Amino acid sequence: MGRLRARTLIAGMVALATVGLAPAATAATGIDTRWSEPGPYAVTVEALDSAHTVYRPSRLERHPVILWGNGTGANPKTYDGLLRHLASHGFVVAAADTPNAGSGQEMLAGATTLIAENSRPGSRYEGKIDTAHIGATGHSQGGGGAIAAGADARVTTTIPIEPGPQGSATALKGPSFFLGGQFDTIVIPGLLVIPRYRLADQVPAIYGELRGATHFTPVGDGGGFRGAITAWFRFWLSGDERARAEFFGPSCGLCRDGAWSAVQRNTKALAVPGA
């Protein structure tokens, strides 16, 4: 009887352990880790013109564009890991070589150069730029610059990362993903990011607040922001349907991801079909 009871107790403990593990596995689902992992493209970094550094797939096919704006006092090398990561996922990233990209004009100049190079005979970019799909993103002042650039009809989507006060959210032309840091004491989410997200009600807009993030979390390789940024651009710029469910529909991966302390989706974002 003793052995029978022992076997019964062990079996019960195994069953309880299995029951306890199942919800944890479900709760852990969120944004797919594929987006934070390196993409399939080898990356080349070089000067685009006298005012921009380009991060691009080494073997050019036909790629969407991302315009990048640095934070105040920073340069593209400050965000080298993130920009290389985006290029590895198939984007040509034109990073403005300036610590003052808040007007958005410095970023848009990168688009102008790439569009011209796409049409210039003999250019390495000839026929390689998807001029109909251009995104803008940046950090801090560069995030404000992304909002300002997003008023340009050439920019089809934006990701302001902990953005400065530059630009008008009501002038954005395409879907926007506003990013805040839970512990950002420089660009305080509740005062400086969420109100701007709410103003962008003319486009599908989402607000995501990264748990534990400070104002300097995006520096380097983008930290915990990297996967969500990549997925957003893969969906809106590359048409990658694998990324749709990260943001849209009832099973929204971002909404269920415990790495994010707050997620809001406006009416237009809620109307975008899920996967």
Secondary structure of residue 24 in the 3-state scheme: helix
139 domain residue, yes or no: yes
15 domain residue, yes or no: no
Q: Do residues 197 and 203 make contact, with C-beta atoms less than 8 angstroms apart?
A: no
14 domain residue, yes or no: no
Contacts of 113 (CB under 8 A, 6+ apart): 48, 49, 52, 94
93 domain residue, yes or no: yes
115 domain residue, yes or no: yes
- For residue 74, pLDDT over 50 is answered with yes
238 domain residue, yes or no: yes
Of 28 and 9, more confident: 28
pLDDT, tens only, 194-223: 999 999 999 999 999 999 999 999 999 999
| DSSP label of 264 | E
Q: Do residues 154 and 108 make contact, with C-beta atoms less than 8 angstroms apart?
A: yes
List the domain range (segments joined by +) for residue 160. Answer: 43-271
Q: Is the pTM of this model over 0.85?
A: yes
pLDDT confidence of residue 29: 76
pLDDT confidence of residue 158: 98
pLDDT, tens only, 119-151: 999 999 999 999 999 999 999 999 999 999 999
47 domain residue, yes or no: yes
Total structural domains within the chain: 1
Q: List the CATH number of the domain containing 100.
A: 3.40.50.1820
CA distances (Å), origin 184, targets 49, 158, 162: 34, 20, 8
- For residue 4, pLDDT over 60 is answered with no
217 domain residue, yes or no: yes
Q: Which of 64, 136, 61 minimizes the C-alpha distance to 104? A: 136
pLDDT, tens only, 219-253: 999 999 999 999 999 999 999 999 999 999 999 99
Annotate 25-42 with DSSP letters as a single string: HHHH--S-GGGTS--SS-
- For residue 11, pLDDT over 60 is answered with no
22-41: average pLDDT:
73
pLDDT confidence of residue 27: 34
